[in-house]
Amino acid sequence: MKKGAKKLLGTKDFSTFRASSCNAKSPIKTMKSVKIKSTSGRIEIQFKSQSFLQQQVRSMVGSLKYLAENKWNLKKFEFVIKSKKKNSLCATCTC
């Protein structure tokens, strides 16, 4: 998860993680930090950015979860981010 979180840092087009109903003018956002910690069987993820797209955080957490569960590898995660397509978020596809 932590390796995947590093891939989210910086200024990027986060269209992949955007809700279809999102009305933001631009999908370009700057992720300042992502912190992941595990305590008492819970995983806490903290994202810092000036702003987020609708459903962005929820989708990023789900994608990081796929990494943790080995449903995706880091290569698949990078592909999903670069695809800029919401349908790339399916866990079982081999796209």
Residue 8 lies in a domain: yes
Buried/exposed code over 35-53 (b: 16+ C-beta within 10 A; e: otherwise)? eeeeeeeeeeeebebeebb
Residue 95 lies in a domain: no
Q: Please state the pTM of the whole predicted model.
A: 0.87
Residue 79 lies in a domain: yes
Can you give the residue range of the structural domain that contains 78? 2-89
Q: How far apart are CA 65 and CA 94, in angstroms?
A: 17
Count of structural domains within the chain? 1
Question: Residue 77: how many CB atoms within 10 A of its CB?
Answer: 20
pLDDT tens, per residue, the chain with 95 residues: 999 999 999 999 999 999 999 999 999 999 999 999 999 989 999 999 999 999 999 999 999 999 999 999 999 999 999 998 876 666 545 44
Residue 94 lies in a domain: no
Q: How far apart are CA 57 and CA 45, in angstroms?
A: 10
CATH number of the structural domain spanning residue 51:
3.30.70.660
